[in-house]
């Protein structure tokens, strides 16, 4: 056998081995997305009527607020943090905004003598409140070097206590805050016609939030500093970035998004309780990890966050649509979260 023939055989074997390794690596790195798509296909096969314009619109409507929440916590994850208080902050903002925007003629108003407020005022108020709570999270993480998991876990409990005290106020006590002003509910439940297709207003707000966050991440100094801090905080500090200030700003930004999204969520549902938003933090974090963000920091994209949210929402809606037991859905969701984090950790270890 000639030397050229031997070399060609070696190259073929090398390419074959490389291709196999590449394919295997691709399958492992994208295993959770592949599984989710297979699950989607199973749902469609079991119930072909799932593929319809109405269902697609409903999924987009439900995914809109989840996208806004995920944009907030996703920014924190890129900065190598996390936020377990997200869900409870959503509950606080939903309860406050709902209580300030009840219909004037509703018999069980929390504030019967309060004048009619412009809708934007309570929304801005709750954004400031959640921004402040998140800013405290950021301050604790940045200045006292408390692990984000512990800092936000503590804040989660604190915020739930504050929400419950506010919610359980006389004279009506702990009952759902309903009878919302039609002006308020319309901003989330209303829609406009686009070529014969009704597009919910809430979807438009989510698109605007996505566009703004994409610009912030990709076209501003804030975005460059965000990825620098998440990738290597020590190197970022050496290069002149105020890491502590950056972390606080990241948390404040996330809090503003929580407050805005929570107001829309209250308007979409038409009521609020102290348990509104419970568990939303897990959905948002899981969607971010499925969408390619990493707990190791400095990695991620806005498109990935949106993709992760949509995949999760399609699965959740689809499982309900085909009649899967609600408790079994919790098990499936938990397995997805654990698998996504395990795959993320594997990628991080390999990079190291």
Q: Is residue 261 part of a domain?
A: yes
Q: Rounded to the nearest 5 degrees, what angle is found at the Cα of 200, between the Cα atoms of 197 and 57?
A: 65
CA–CA distance, 149 with 99 (Å, rounded to integer): 31
Number of neighbouring beta carbons within 10 Å of residue 178: 15
Strand partners, 191: 200
Question: For position 292, what pLDDT does the model report?
Answer: 87
- Model confidence at 63, pLDDT cuts 50, 70, 90, reads very high
CA distances from 47 to 9, 40, 60 (A): 50, 11, 19
Q: Is residue 8 part of a domain?
A: no
- Model confidence at 18, pLDDT cuts 50, 70, 90, reads low
pLDDT at 17 over 60: no
Question: For position 265, what pLDDT does the model report?
Answer: 98
Q: Which uninterrupted H or E stretch holds 192?
A: strand 191-194
Is 296 within 8 Å of 80 (Cβ atoms)?
A: yes
Which phi and psi angles does 74 have, rounded to 5°?
-65, -40
Q: Is residue 12 part of a domain?
A: no
pLDDT at 32 over 90: no
pLDDT at 300 over 70: yes
State how many domains the chain has: 1
Radius of gyration of the chain (CA): 23
CA–CA distance, 137 with 252 (Å, rounded to integer): 9
Q: What is the per-residue DSSP string for 232-244?
A: -HHHHHHTT--HH
Question: For position 21, what pLDDT does the model report?
Answer: 74
CA distances from 327 to 204, 245, 320 (A): 32, 42, 11
Q: Is residue 158 part of a domain?
A: yes
Q: What percent of the chain has pLDDT over 70?
A: 91
Question: For position 137, what pLDDT does the model report?
Answer: 98
Mean pLDDT of 55-72: 95
Pairing of strands 191-194, 197-200: antiparallel
Q: Is residue 15 part of a domain?
A: no
Which phi and psi angles does 110 have, rounded to 5°?
-70, -35
pLDDT at 3 over 80: no
Tens-digit pLDDT profile for residues 186-232: 999 999 888 778 899 999 999 999 999 999 999 999 999 999 999 99
Mean pLDDT of 343-351: 65
CA–CA distance, 124 with 187 (Å, rounded to integer): 14
Q: Is residue 176 part of a domain?
A: yes
Q: Is residue 236 part of a domain?
A: yes
- Residues with Cβ < 8 Å from 318, sequence gap 6 or more? 39, 40, 43, 44, 47, 50
Identify the CA nearest to 55 among candidates 301, 269, 321: 321
Question: For position 39, what pLDDT does the model report?
Answer: 81
Q: Is residue 22 part of a domain?
A: no
Number of neighbouring beta carbons within 10 Å of residue 350: 10
Tens-digit pLDDT profile for residues 46-57: 889 888 988 999
Is 142 within 8 Å of 248 (Cβ atoms)?
A: yes
Task: Give strand ranges (E) for 223-321.
Answer: none
What range does the domain containing 110 cover? 32-351
- Residues with Cβ < 8 Å from 255, sequence gap 6 or more? 72, 89, 127, 130, 131, 132, 133, 134, 135, 137
Question: For position 347, what pLDDT does the model report?
Answer: 65
Question: For position 50, what pLDDT does the model report?
Answer: 87
CA–CA distance, 101 with 188 (Å, rounded to integer): 14
- Give the CATH number, domain containing residue 301: 1.10.3470
Question: For position 170, what pLDDT does the model report?
Answer: 76
- Model confidence at 251, pLDDT cuts 50, 70, 90, reads very high
Number of alpha carbons in the 13 Å side-chain half-sphere of residue 157: 5
Q: What is the chain's mean pLDDT, rounded?
A: 90
Question: For position 15, what pLDDT does the model report?
Answer: 52
Tens-digit pLDDT profile for residues 99-156: 999 999 999 999 999 999 999 999 999 999 999 999 999 999 999 999 999 999 999 9
């Amino acid at each position: 056998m000639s030397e050229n023939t031997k070399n060609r055989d070696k190259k073929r074997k090398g390419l074959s081995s490389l291709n196999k390794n590449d394919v295997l690596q691709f399958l492992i790195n994208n295993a959770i997305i592949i599984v989710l798509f297979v699950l989607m296909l199973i749902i469609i096969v079991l119930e072909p009527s799932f593929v319809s314009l109405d269902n697609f619109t409903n999924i987009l409507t439900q995914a809109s607020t989840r996208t806004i929440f995920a944009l907030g916590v996703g920014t924190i994850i890129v900065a190598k943090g996390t936020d377990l208080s997200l869900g409870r902050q959503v509950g606080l903002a939903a309860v406050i905004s709902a209580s300030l925007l009840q219909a004037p003629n509703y018999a069980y108003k929390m504030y019967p003598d309060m004048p009619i407020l412009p809708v934007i005022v309570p929304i801005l108020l709750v954004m400031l409140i959640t921004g402040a709570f998140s800013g405290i999270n950021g301050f604790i993480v940045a200045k006292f070097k408390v692990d984000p998991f512990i800092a936000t876990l503590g804040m989660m409990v604190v915020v739930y206590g504050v929400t419950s005290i506010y919610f359980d106020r006389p004279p009506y006590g702990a009952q759902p805050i309903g009878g919302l002003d039609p002006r308020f509910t319309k901003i989330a439940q209303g829609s406009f016609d686009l070529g014969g297709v009704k597009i919910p207003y809430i979807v438009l707000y989510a698109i605007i939030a996505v566009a703004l966050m994409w610009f912030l991440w990709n076209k501003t100094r804030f975005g460059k500093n965000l990825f620098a801090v998440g990738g290597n905080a020590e190197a970022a500090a050496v290069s002149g970035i105020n890491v502590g200030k950056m972390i606080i700003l990241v948390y404040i930004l996330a809090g503003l998004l929580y407050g805005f999204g929570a107001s829309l969520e209250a308007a979409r549902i038409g009521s609020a309780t102290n348990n509104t938003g419970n568990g939303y933090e897990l959905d948002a974090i899981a969607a971010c990890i499925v969408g390619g963000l990493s707990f190791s920091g400095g990695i991620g994209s806005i498109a990935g966050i949106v993709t992760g949210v949509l995949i999760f929402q399609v699965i959740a809606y689809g499982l309900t649509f085909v009649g899967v037991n609600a408790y079994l859905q919790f098990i499936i969701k938990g397995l997805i979260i654990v698998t996504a984090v395990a795959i993320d950790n594997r990628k991080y270890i390999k990079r190291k």
